[in-house]
Structure 1
Amino acid sequence: MTSGRSVMDGRFELLERLGSGGMGTVWRALDLVLQREVALKEVRPGGGEVPPDDAALAGMYRERVLREARALARIDHPHVVTIHHIIDSPDMPYPWLVMELVRGESLQDRLARGALTPLEAARVGRGVLAALQAAHRAGICHRDIKPGNVLLREDGSPVLTDFGIAVLEEASRVTATGGLVGSPEYIAPERLHGREGDPASDLWSLGMLLYVAVEGHNPVRRTTLAATLAAVMTAQIPAPRQAGPLAEAIGALLVPDPAARPDAALLDRMLAAAEGQPTSPSVPFPAPHPPGPGPIPSTVPAFAAPPPRRQNPALLVLAGAGAVVLVFALAFFAVQALERDEGRTVTAGPSAGTRQPEPTETSEKVVSEEGGRLPESARPTSLLTPAGIRGVITAFEKATGNDKFAAFTVYEEYAYAEVPVPGRSKATDRYLYRNGEVTKQGAGTSDEGTVNLRVFDWNVVPRLLRAADRRLNVPDPENRYLVVKPSWTFAGDKPMLLVYLNDEHGGGYLAADVKGRIEKTYPAE
């Protein structure tokens, strides 16, 4: 500091405090050399409360800030905020970051005035996606994508900010076992299970941001942190109602299996289509993995997000006030509480309430159970029949050369299957069946083993569908589908057949063994 006025590093005069939080304070400052305004972030992990005798932890924080800032300095992209300089000296506990000052408002402020149209949201989404692609190429995962970390320039273009916070806080995980960073209602479910550093986690958060942008509320926010964490882990995401052409992209992103989300290139084409921009021919994205057990109990009510607090719209900076530190213990106890409350096991899994995306149309070719072409008059009106399912199985077996499958899901008009990749313990290839034609859809992962689909008694399907209609409390379902679990933990690791019904409010399912005996029922709440 310079006597009489606050000047950092003999060059940056602090003019105005713009915001502060658990990770430090952000200032508007004047670069006295270049005569331009910049943003200075004064980093204070944990509110500056680092134990004075914990020199190792302090050194770890300091080195992580420097390493992240240097990495971000290598990202040159119009949708990523620019870092100009690092102020660092031996007498400072942590470095200060000198960054671009963005004039405009945050997406959070914009949403306080109302939801975006699907077209507006698609434009913002493409900009944020481009920023994430640049970061991911540099080996950086953002870990805290949310409206407060997206700034809108005066021309409306988005700027992604606050890259360093999550990595900086993550350093504390070395000594604070079980810590996890990020804003609870935007965090990807796999991160609550300890899987970090996957770019697909940022894409989940982008999907949730788009959902909030068009719907005006966050579907997993609850009245308490513990309940929010439980909602994220069980991934009960209702289909958006206001998304219009953006619904396909949102649905593709908000699936619990990271491998089932579209990659950045495909997602950009989907967002471009929603924006009404020319794009290359559509490529069908992988189907989400089927929902896991247990809808969220009614004791954890939905909670609409309150309007966010306004900040100074004239001067916004790269860094927000900081990320929320989540602790695995909270998630664990939240799930345990839900289990005690309802007497059921709650696990992470895709939403029974998420409307499954339809694949693209393929040629009109229909095969019989024996693999021959069926006349149009003999084609089943739905695949959810014993003959329809056996025909699908035959088609998958012939197309893949396999009789053991890692996953199998059948809807009324199409089906998905996954087969193991030889020599790879968890890798799978994903296939789509529609109109009698099998096409390869991409790669997947599975650690549930494999099963020969012929072990199931498919003659019980009509009875199971009738039972689902009676028991699952979904009077007018929008979706009906069957899921085969090769090895289901909640049934002693044996193969199970799950029958799902859902509507716009959620759904439920029942689970039966290979003979069709119903062992578990999870009705909609």
Structure 2
Amino acid sequence: MSTSEGRRPLVDGRFQLISRLGSGGMGTVWRARDIALDRDVALKEVRPPDPAVAEATPGLAAQLRERAVREARALARLSNPHVVTIHHIVEPQDGSHPWIVMELVEGRSVHDRLAEGPMPVPEVLTLGRQVLSALRAAHSAGIQHRDVKPANILLRPDGSAVLTDFGIAAFSEATSRLTSTGDLIGSPEYIAPERVRGEEGNPASDLWSLGMLLYVAAEGHHPLRRATGLATVVAVLDDPIPPPVRSGALAPVLTRLLVRDPALRPDGAGLEQMLADAEAGPSRTGVPEGAGPGPFGPPHPHPAYTPPASPSWTPPTVPSHVASGNGGFGPPLPPSVPRPRRRAATLAVSLTLTAAVAVAAAVNVLPDGGSGSDADGSGSRPSGGATPVTGDRTPGTGAEKGTGDSTPAPRGSLLTPANVRTVIESFRKASGTTRMKELTIFEDYALAEIPTRVGAKTYDAYEFRNGVARRTGPGGTIAADAADEQPFDVTAMAWDGLPALMKRGEGQLGVERPTLRYVIVGRWTFNSDRPTLRFYLINEYNAVGYLAADSGGEVVASHPSS
């Protein structure tokens, strides 16, 4: 690199660096002056994201260079108003990192716009169609973006969107997705689950990222962002996504798009039609602007989410399609489609050594006790239990035969030992077993994932409400090699210790004036050998805290509100 007469760095004897515009996972972008054509341009300096990664991965720099140049050339051939224009590629003869000369977009990013608050739904729909147009053009040329996020979308002065910063590298080894400091290459909040698991992904992975961006733009918050990057990665892999409440006609689009199985997402053409229908208004979508939850029904209470503060708002009913399968968001996965695996092994393949050590350290503080009682035993259906539900539906009712029971409705909160046992007994009468994959109990209703039969690799979704337990539909599959998906006997948990655990949580978790309390019982990612009971507290300001106790009632983890 030479210098100009003004002593500023000069790239390729032509591009005068003026100021740094920003840095990302693949290098630094500069404002530069093209002294040959007398115009300002954006100059991207393509470098490995972290020197430690380059040192630990032989050939990484060459791989980054090859991919950046290849994709820049492909992008340069595209003609789309929403794809940043590539003017020139500088490939130094000495083999050092390349420079990509791009259109300089005078405007702010969507990230900057969202700092002011959520966008109106019509603006979000327009944004979605424009970014999708850019992605479809890139996908048609064999290019995946891999880092669709608000900071990578610029808004021209006329408001139109431009997708920038293509070329985030994908590596053959899943561990390369994290640097030695545990930071993802790309933004963990927007990366598709399959890419977090170490898969290269496909165009559907970019569409997940676009869907998450549209969710954030309309709702004003990210449903999976956690306190740390590692916690966010776990949430992306595993946590249910609360249905949107402000998205109006966009809500049906999001429910189709944000599903963890990429095969179930709409393709680019299908998504384009859905966004167009949503823009057409209530006559096309049946969802009026400002209609709140829309087809999702009310939001699913979850540690990452509470509804907007409103004196008139009360926690409503959760529809069965939210309660079943697919991470709590969108339609349930059919039994033939593998449900996203939630396990420490899946997480481990996408972590670097440092992050993996951190996880191991967290696990090592947990008890190493055995299975305890019958919580991990093979178990079987009671001989006097109800006949397993077949899935036949009573015409015109939407209810399924054989799903109800006559257990008297419990009084008061379900979060007492006696009422929990009533809930479990109701589920046993409806399903024929007390072995479950997961059980979630709120103060006024409960949800369960119950194997379809003894030893089955599929499970059904159940709901308990007003004293009645019923099957609400198919849930998904149980991976034989996933430790944290294996069913267990929920009666073996130390339910008598629940009041003390809740009292301890109220005093230690730092959640002032909680508006939501609930427990989740299942094989936790960080303690899959033994079932774990997690007690959550949330308030209207999104403060979240939880305690985790093992099957014997011993607290094994505490996560106060930050």
User: TM-score range with shorter-chain normalisation?
Assistant: 0.5 to 0.7
Separation of aligned partners in 2, 1:9 and 1:190:
39
Deviation at 1:103, TM superposition (A): 0.9
Unaligned runs of 5+ in 1: 297-324, 345-368, 389-458, 503-507
Partner SS state of residue 73, structure 2: helix
**Is contact 1:252-1:261 (8 Å) kept?**
yes
Deviation at 1:485, TM superposition (A): 6.4
The equivalent position to 1:473 in structure 2, one of 441, 444, 454, is 441
Q: Structure 1 residue 148 and structure 2 residue 151: aligned?
A: yes
**Counterpart of 1:101 in structure 2: which amino acid?**
L
Q: Structure 1 residue 88 and structure 2 residue 91: aligned?
A: yes
User: In the alignment, which residue of structure 2 is the partner of 1:268?
Assistant: 272
When residues 330 and 49 of structure 1 are mapped into structure 2, their CA distance, relative to the original with a 3 A threshold, is closer
The equivalent position to 2:333 in structure 1, one of 289, 295, 305, is 289
The equivalent position to 1:195 in structure 2, one of 188, 192, 199, is 199
Separation of aligned partners in 2, 1:253 and 1:339:
37
Deviations 1:203-253 (A, max 9, x none): 111111111111111111111122111111103211111111111111111
When residues 342 and 142 of structure 1 are mapped into structure 2, their CA distance, relative to the original with a 3 A threshold, is farther
The equivalent position to 1:231 in structure 2, one of 228, 235, 245, is 235
**Counterpart of 1:62 in structure 2: which amino acid?**
R
When residues 338 and 221 of structure 1 are mapped into structure 2, their CA distance, relative to the original with a 3 A threshold, is farther
Separation of aligned partners in 2, 1:102 and 1:87:
20
**Counterpart of 1:184 in structure 2: which amino acid?**
P
User: In the alignment, which residue of structure 1 is the partner of 2:121?
Assistant: 118
Deviation at 1:280, TM superposition (A): 8.4
**Is contact 2:434-2:489 (8 Å) kept?**
no
Separation of aligned partners in 1, 2:54 and 2:435:
60
**Counterpart of 1:223 in structure 2: which amino acid?**
A
The equivalent position to 1:383 in structure 2, one of 371, 374, 399, is 399
> TM-score normalised to the size of structure 2?
0.57
User: In the alignment, which residue of structure 2 is the partner of 1:162?
Assistant: 165
**Counterpart of 2:130 in structure 1: which amino acid?**
G
User: In the alignment, which residue of structure 2 is the partner of 1:300?
Assistant: none
**Counterpart of 2:333 in structure 1: which amino acid?**
H
Deviations 1:462-489 (A, max 9, x none): 4679999xx7323556x97x978679xx
User: In the alignment, which residue of structure 1 is the partner of 2:209?
Assistant: 205
Deviations 1:341-372 (A, max 9, x none): 6999xxxxxxxxxxxxxxxxxxxxxxxx9x9x
Deviation at 1:148, TM superposition (A): 0.5
**Counterpart of 1:289 in structure 2: which amino acid?**
L
Partner SS state of residue 497, structure 1: strand
The equivalent position to 2:355 in structure 1, one of 330, 338, 346, is 330
Deviates more, 1:184-193 or 1:143-152: 184-193
Deviation at 1:192, TM superposition (A): 2.0
Partner SS state of residue 460, structure 2: strand
Map residues 374-523 of structure 1 onto 2, 5 A cutoff. Answer: 379-386=395-402, 462=430, 472-475=440-443, 494-500=457-463, 519-520=489-490, 522-523=520-521
User: In the alignment, which residue of structure 2 is the partner of 1:15?
Assistant: 18
Deviations 1:169-225 (A, max 9, x none): x35859958776321111111122222131111111111111111111111111112
**Is contact 2:11-2:17 (8 Å) kept?**
yes
User: In the alignment, which residue of structure 1 is the partner of 2:256?
Assistant: 252
Deviation at 1:276, TM superposition (A): 2.5
Separation of aligned partners in 1, 2:281 and 2:332:
26
Separation of aligned partners in 2, 1:500 and 1:187:
32
User: In the alignment, which residue of structure 2 is the partner of 1:417?
Assistant: none
**Counterpart of 1:150 in structure 2: which amino acid?**
I
Q: How many residues align?
A: 379
Deviation at 1:258, TM superposition (A): 0.9
User: In the alignment, which residue of structure 1 is the partner of 2:65?
Assistant: 62
Separation of aligned partners in 2, 1:197 and 1:295:
20
User: In the alignment, which residue of structure 2 is the partner of 1:394?
Assistant: none
**Is contact 1:107-1:148 (8 Å) kept?**
yes
User: In the alignment, which residue of structure 1 is the partner of 2:506?
Assistant: none
**Is contact 1:230-1:331 (8 Å) kept?**
no
When residues 87 and 48 of structure 1 are mapped into structure 2, their CA distance, relative to the original with a 3 A threshold, is farther
When residues 494 and 237 of structure 1 are mapped into structure 2, their CA distance, relative to the original with a 3 A threshold, is closer
When residues 519 and 50 of structure 1 are mapped into structure 2, their CA distance, relative to the original with a 3 A threshold, is closer
Over the aligned positions, Cα root-mean-square deviation in angstroms equals 4.7
**Is contact 1:192-1:233 (8 Å) kept?**
yes
**Is contact 2:46-2:98 (8 Å) kept?**
yes
Q: Structure 1 residue 29 and structure 2 residue 25: aligned?
A: no
Deviation at 1:47, TM superposition (A): 4.7
User: In the alignment, which residue of structure 2 is the partner of 1:183?
Assistant: 187
Separation of aligned partners in 2, 1:499 and 1:41:
53
Deviations 1:437-485 (A, max 9, x none): xxxxxxxxxxxxxxxxxxxxxx9774679999xx7323556x97x9786
When residues 387 and 484 of structure 1 are mapped into structure 2, their CA distance, relative to the original with a 3 A threshold, is closer
Separation of aligned partners in 2, 1:174 and 1:341:
27
**Is contact 1:255-1:288 (8 Å) kept?**
no
Separation of aligned partners in 2, 1:76 and 1:238:
37
Deviation at 1:340, TM superposition (A): 7.8
Separation of aligned partners in 2, 1:52 and 1:189:
27
Deviations 1:66-103 (A, max 9, x none): 21211222222111101110011212511111000001
Q: Percent identity?
A: 47
Deviations 1:47-72 (A, max 9, x none): 56687999844333322222121122
When residues 94 and 485 of structure 1 are mapped into structure 2, their CA distance, relative to the original with a 3 A threshold, is farther
Separation of aligned partners in 2, 1:212 and 1:326:
26
**Is contact 2:124-2:218 (8 Å) kept?**
yes
Select the structure with the greater relative contact order (CA < 8 A; seq sep ≥ 6): 1
> TM-score normalised to the size of structure 1?
0.60
User: In the alignment, which residue of structure 1 is the partner of 2:300?
Assistant: none
When residues 65 and 56 of structure 1 are mapped into structure 2, their CA distance, relative to the original with a 3 A threshold, is same
Partner SS state of residue 185, structure 1: coil
